[in-house]
Structure 1
């Protein structure tokens, strides 16, 4: 029944034409005449409409019914199919101006499949061409390409570093700012998965950020530091956003880094100024207080003795009055340098105001060690002082306190050293005294 019904359909020309005329593809059945000329024998309605052909076009040589440029293309492709003796497929672009539906777009893109038909003697008698309109598809592709080009222009024009990564956290693409600032190209990063821009101390932080991004969160204004190809550290303000695949599943992320290295340097400079004496460059009272608290906690844990020195320059006011404040400033700077050289590497020297200095002496195994340090300080000050061609004699009085019972407060420890300094001044200056609770003096 099925075969019979199929044969009946093939024997009904009216049904055949109805079928091909309802096709969106263009159908051209071309006869190869004995003189090798070509003429149309069957055209469906879309094929006729393309070039405005009518029933009178049948039987005429196609060069007489087709526009010249279209004819040359068709003839060349028909000859190619006949020569190869097998179907060929090709694309071309045709400009059509007479069709109403193309009044706003005269360019049509076609995909043509030409199949040669041979008789029993191996002669090509007909050529069947099925032509598909690819204009809409090509326009969509063109629009996608335009969007891609615009995106790439923006992507590579922004000053911020940007890159994408996949679900395995491998970098997939980077912009020009990334290559310029961090030094790595996308090709290098894709080829070598071992390359990392993450410092060791930043990996745990990044892991937490990625977990938040996986959950769909956008992490913004997060301060991070990254490593360049040359090994430099750059500080960034980072934003991390999730990316999804066509099924809506998490598929990686996009990252934007704003370079804040200069801002960080400026902030560090401000911190430096806030915690250091501008004249001598030494830590100031605030910085000293912070370090003293930390060292007192450490001393409690380690049971090692901590000592505080308070020292000043004897008769400094007279130096200022006699030589002027400029000379006085030079004396303070030289005093700081000499004392710094006399103390141990891990000792902490600070200027807390005027001619008053403090020294934090941590991790003492013996209290007598402070006497050696005090002696070295006194000795370094005995060397000749020549400031601005002026020969000046400089001495210092030193008060020393200990943090050994671990029950003193910071201000008490400092006050005890200050009381010992007072005792040193009472004893004629140019000496050191250790705080003694009973006598407020030293041994």
Structure 2
């Protein structure tokens, strides 16, 4: 939750800081405040006004700025510092001036007297928002397809495994669809990759219009996509969604002043209580998709669970 820092605590003789010393400390961190051993606010630097919209006079004003999900962690950081008399760090989210969301890294520093008893605790904070946003952007790039913005194969597999674990606990069924664009290579080869990319982006927009917010639409690569439909009541429900997808794709496409038609083929499988793992489900939709392709494409096929499947 927080990281202890290997450093000696500061003695109480250092607590009454001269003005120059306090200015040096405040320049080292974006925000700085001191609390007594009971948690009462003693001092808060003037930059609080710039960052959170006010200079707090009570510790409650600081706590109110901390996101509710992290308030207990901040309290535990204070208690941990009291008990161990060591410095520790904690990263948390807070509400800044103008309702912006900030990420702050807080270093708790104990101030002790000659007997080693804590008299005050300082919270020295650095704004980590830019760094955190960069981390989130890098993570999003690692988990999403750059062309369409959809979850990629890695994120899809994580979500499928989570749904499987949830379904095993709740016995609530879900559906997996494997969607393949028929003859997408012809579009790329005859119209160019720019048209192909623009078509894929428009394709994603159309399919998303057929799905609920809780459904997951992912790009596996090229012209292959997957859809996870959690909490579907029955196969009829999945039938209706599959039919909507076929109908929306079958409408004429207008991409960069070019008009053409396209279709999709889909393999579908439903979760059942004896489902082994994600690998088996992927084999099932692949078999169902292969059957659709063999029958002329532009349709969907549910996997027949009575058929044997090689799970090796």
TM-score past 0.5 threshold: yes
Give 1:218 shift: 2.6
SS in 2 for 1:398: strand
Query: Which range is displaced more, 262-271 or 162-171?
Result: 162-171
Instruction: Answer yes or no: is 1:429 the counterpart of 2:297.
Output: yes
Give 1:277 shift: 0.4
Change (3 A) 1:228 1:205: same
CA distance in 2 between counterparts of 1:158 and 1:395 reads 61
Q: Could you report, residue by residue, the CA deviation over 1:36-93 in whole angstroms, capped at 9, with x for unpaired residues?
A: xxxxxxxxxxxxxxxxxxxxxxxxxxxxxxxxxxxxxxxxxxxxxxxxxxxxxxxxxx
Q: Residue in 1 aligned with 2:284?
A: 416
Q: Residue in 2 aligned with 1:189?
A: 58
CA distance in 1 between counterparts of 2:162 and 2:200 reads 27
Of 17, 36, 40 in structure 2, the residue corresponding to residue 166 of structure 1 is: 36
Q: Residue in 1 aligned with 2:101?
A: 233
- Aligned-residue CA RMSD in angstroms? 2.2
Q: Could you report, residue by residue, the CA deviation over 1:98-143 in whole angstroms, capped at 9, with x for unpaired residues?
A: xxxxxxxxxxxxxxxxxxxxxxxxxxxxxxxxxxxxxxxxxxxxxx
CA distance in 2 between counterparts of 1:251 and 1:428 reads 80
SS in 1 for 2:65: coil
Contact 1:156 1:176 in 2 (8 A): no
Of 132, 138, 142 in structure 2, the residue corresponding to residue 264 of structure 1 is: 132
SS in 2 for 1:169: coil
Residue correspondence of structure 1 range 350-361 to structure 2 within 5 A: 350-361=218-229
Query: Which range is displaced more, 386-395 or 243-252?
Result: 243-252
Of 281, 285, 294 in structure 1, the residue corresponding to residue 153 of structure 2 is: 285
SS in 1 for 2:147: coil
CA distance in 1 between counterparts of 2:86 and 2:49 reads 24
Q: Residue in 1 aligned with 2:176?
A: 308
Q: Residue in 2 aligned with 1:212?
A: 80
Contact 1:155 1:175 in 2 (8 A): no
CA distance in 2 between counterparts of 1:170 and 1:337 reads 54
CA distance in 2 between counterparts of 1:204 and 1:406 reads 41
Residue correspondence of structure 1 range 145-160 to structure 2 within 5 A: 148-160=18-30
Change (3 A) 1:317 1:194: closer
Residue correspondence of structure 1 range 13-24 to structure 2 within 5 A: none
The TM-score, its normalising length taken from structure 1, stands at 0.62
SS in 2 for 1:268: helix
CA distance in 2 between counterparts of 1:273 and 1:250 reads 46
CA distance in 1 between counterparts of 2:97 and 2:186 reads 57
CA distance in 2 between counterparts of 1:248 and 1:439 reads 74
SS in 2 for 1:215: helix
Q: Could you report, residue by residue, the CA deviation over 1:200-230 in whole angstroms, capped at 9, with x for unpaired residues?
A: 2112212321222012433334322223354
CA distance in 2 between counterparts of 1:384 and 1:376 reads 15
Largest Rg, 1 or 2: 1
Instruction: Answer yes or no: is 1:365 the counterpart of 2:233.
Output: yes
SS in 2 for 1:280: coil
Residue correspondence of structure 1 range 120-131 to structure 2 within 5 A: none
CA distance in 2 between counterparts of 1:255 and 1:181 reads 15
Give 1:355 shift: 0.3
Instruction: Answer yes or no: is 1:407 the counterpart of 2:271.
Output: no
CA distance in 2 between counterparts of 1:203 and 1:273 reads 30
Of 193, 198, 206 in structure 2, the residue corresponding to residue 325 of structure 1 is: 193
Unmatched 5+ residue regions in structure 2?
Answer: 1-13
Change (3 A) 1:193 1:174: closer
Contact 1:209 1:219 in 2 (8 A): no
With CA pairs under 8 Å and 6+ residues apart, which has the higher RCO, 1 or 2? 2
Query: Which range is displaced more, 340-349 or 401-410?
Result: 401-410
Q: Residue in 1 aligned with 2:258?
A: 390
Contact 1:343 1:376 in 2 (8 A): no
Contact 2:35 2:121 in 1 (8 A): yes
SS in 2 for 1:363: coil
Residue correspondence of structure 1 range 2-13 to structure 2 within 5 A: none
Contact 2:177 2:267 in 1 (8 A): yes
